[in-house]
Amino acid sequence: MVKVDEQLEAKPQNIVPRGRQGTRETPYSLQVASELLETYGSPLYVYEGETLRQTIQQIAQSIPYRHKQFHFASVTNGNISLLQIFREAGWGLHANTPGDAYLALKAGFAPQKIVYSGSNLRPAEMAQLLEWGVPTFNFDSISQLQQFCDVYQNQNLSPNLTRLGLRLNLPAVTGESRIGVRPAEFPAAVKIAQAAGLQIRGLHFYRGTGTNATKAFTQVINEVMATAKLLPDWEYLDFGGGFGYPYDRDGAAFDWEMFGQELTQQLAQLGREIQLVIEPGRAAIAGCGSLLAKIISVKWQESKQILGVDTTVANISVPAVHGGYREIFCWQETGETYRTDVCGNTTYSRDYLGKNCQLPALQIGDIIAILDVGAYGYAMSYHFLHRPLPAEVLLEGGRDRLIRQREDYKVLVDNQIFT
């Protein structure tokens, strides 16, 4: 297991080789990993379809409340082949941007299965979402609501086809946050919507990205629902976004069963049925993805091993997003490990994929797997030092399938204008 923080001063972490108690193994063998890299090149994002389907099912079954919908937050991963797995499972899609909605439509989602909950749309983007048929909008501010109503009235749409919600900013619950509308602003929001022939029907609660503390959600359910009752036409509660994922297996993990039971019990006390919307992103998809890479250089500084690999931190999310922790997996069986730095293929001084971790002595050509990159891996990758992005592969039913081609250097000049 590897600790990487923004100062890159992690304490030594134990990486237990494959086959030894204490490690989380990949579900595919070294032979499969080698064949994948031989076929598709290195580095390579690999997604395990069965793992993703099991996670989707586990989350969906954890909430017994009858009137519920799940919408995948595609900000975490926009690969169409993976989005289609969510669609086949009966989920909808949560869009933070028009690009999210565009990908959802390309993946075959009906517009009615898309919920927009974002910030700071331009009027032209609002018009585009309406043109695509997106029906549900949770707005971040009074000014965005007013802009939307102005755009909506120019579209000449039926009020029955559009429902509006507000993203909640409640400092006692959400803390100081730039996101959301405060309860004191609700009456103004209701009037703005009514002037356009619409109603504020929903409340969206966003705890904050990557929250693993289950009580951070369960302890505020009553207060969130009490706030929602301030809306005279309240019909739906969009409760999260923000569910975390346990990158560190020794750390806290979100308890979906506890959350589902507590949320269902408190909703049952309302005395009427409302629609519940849950928007997992990272929690649903992080664990199905790994990034394969090859060792391309080895050097020793006294007893410390320095491994150079053919990928970079530009291909995994920044520490601020994943908490600075990643598991690194290798298939070599050995009883002896060494303090090791795993370094990327750039001259950036902080290009460490692992620092001060314990790994066996590895050789040029050996393969490692950086685990849990299904969320904010490819989605946050970028052309750092002008390196094209890796390919993506899906493993299902014992077969592999290319789901995104590897970029070549042509991508670096696409859309540039030069003579």
pLDDT, averaged per 10 consecutive residues of the chain (419 residues), comes to: 35 33 67 97 98 97 96 97 98 97 98 95 96 96 96 81 92 81 97 96 88 91 95 95 87 93 95 95 96 98 97 84 80 87 91 91 96 94 94 96 97 94
- Do 383 and 411 touch, CB atoms closer than 8 A? yes
* R_g of the chain, CA atoms, integer Å: 23
- Give the model's pLDDT for residue 369: 96
Estimate the crossing angle of helix 142-155 against helix 186-195, to 10 degrees: 10
Of 382, 394, 376, nearest to 75 by C-alpha is 376
Judge if the upstream peptide bond of residue 43 is cis by omega within 30 degrees of 0: yes
**Comparing 2-48+287-412 with 110-280, is the CATH topology the same?**
no
- The C-alpha angle with vertex 269 and arms to 266 and 270, in degrees rounded to 5, equals 105
CATH architecture under which domain 110-280 falls: Alpha-Beta Barrel (3.20)
Of 222, 239, 358, nearest to 303 by C-alpha is: 358
Task: Give the pTM.
Answer: 0.92
List 371's β-bridge partners, or say none: 290
CA 23 to each of CA 26, 43, 71, 330: distance values in angstroms, whole numbers, following the listed order = 10, 22, 32, 10
Cα(334)–Cα(337) distance, rounded to whole angstroms?
Answer: 8
Parse the chain into domains and list their residue ranges.
2-48+287-412, 110-280
Q: Look-up: residue for tokens 């289609």?
A: 84
Among candidates 308, 291, 303, which has minimal Cα distance to 363? 308
The contacts found for 133-136 with CB under 8 angstroms, 24 or more apart, are 134/95, 134/101, 135/111, 135/161, 135/162, 135/163, 136/162, 136/163, 136/164, 136/165, 136/202
CATH number of the domain at 2-48+287-412, out of 2.60.40.10, 3.40.50.720, 3.40.50.300, 2.40.37.10?
2.40.37.10
Q: What is the pLDDT of residue 386?
A: 94
pLDDT at position 238 is 96
CA 360 – CA 330 distance, rounded (Å): 9
What pLDDT is attached to residue 6?
A: 32
**Cα dihedral across residues 51, 57, 63, 64: positive or negative:** negative
User: Which residue, among 326, 316, 306, 249, has the nearest Cα to 4 in the 3D structure?
Assistant: 326
Q: Please, are residues 138 and 238 in contact by the beta-carbon 8 Å criterion?
A: yes
Task: Match 């890299």 to its residue by tokens.
Answer: 37
Tokens linked to 414: 């696409």
Strand-strand pairing, 352-359 and 338-343:
antiparallel
Q: Cα 162 to the chain's mean position, in Å? A: 27
Using an 8 Å Cβ cutoff, are 24 and 371 in contact?
yes
142-155 and 123-132 are packed helices; what angle lies between their axes, rounded to 10 degrees? 50
